[in-house]
Structure 1
């Protein structure tokens, strides 16, 4: 079983080129997350990374606010933040015990940020016309983890209803569908 930090390192490596590839002219474009345009989703994802870095260190996280992350050298800052996330989850004991005020197992908390980083990188890639193929080990870890989280995530309105996918859909398409996303979403359909 891979450590969460190794999986996050791979997921960050997949997400960073997507974020760096976002042209400023696309910041107002829609994303597969109907409540977010590209600008808002970059800010949301950046805050998720900051919050889950804190949770790895057993510090409090601020989930109520999403500061604007698309200012200054925001692409570089996203890279710095994902590097700090990986480092925080690589520390001894980070994936042991519980993390966060709800007392979830630390590995489950790691799965949450792994899912956000991977799925939102896909959202941003789709919204901005970029290719995105997540690491196979990340997808293999996410598939059962997201399936286990899905019922509670739907109750909390973090996931939509499962999107129907055909037999033979890829493992990542199934992960996306679990969250309520159409794996074939394109901006012209959004």
Structure 2
């Protein structure tokens, strides 16, 4: 038979062992929860940083598109049309200027397609307007180069002048949309 002191010692030992086991179990559970919490916190931090980096990249790309669009608006304006015509720009020089501007329009199209798809269609429309301007103004330069009379009543001049008003208007529309996207991204800290 077991004596009372042995029974007390056994109960004390079992209780101590159970307490240690329970404490170890609770510490293991708490450690796992803390590790899970820290891992989740790190994942959220990385996502937040990636989102901020993406927002910054989009903002930079849209700023670049805005700058290029300003140049396109200026180059296709009635003022620059008058300057090019008054300077007796040759059709060949006009072609070179137009090719350079087409490259810039293609860059804006790429930025729109990749970073702001909602303006892609408007940029395509702008490119179409640029093509129309090119065709009509090219005719003006050819007629002028031949020494024939060209003035504001010449049909190709009138059409080129019409597009020299429509292009800056379309650019303004696109730039307004870009501005709204950039402000939205800044204010919300999100992407466009």
Same fold (TM over 0.5): no
TM interval, shorter chain, is under 0.3
Q: TM-score, normalised by structure 1?
A: 0.27
Q: Which of the pair is proportionally richer in helix? A: 2
Larger radius of gyration: 2
Relative to the length of structure 2, the TM-score reads 0.27
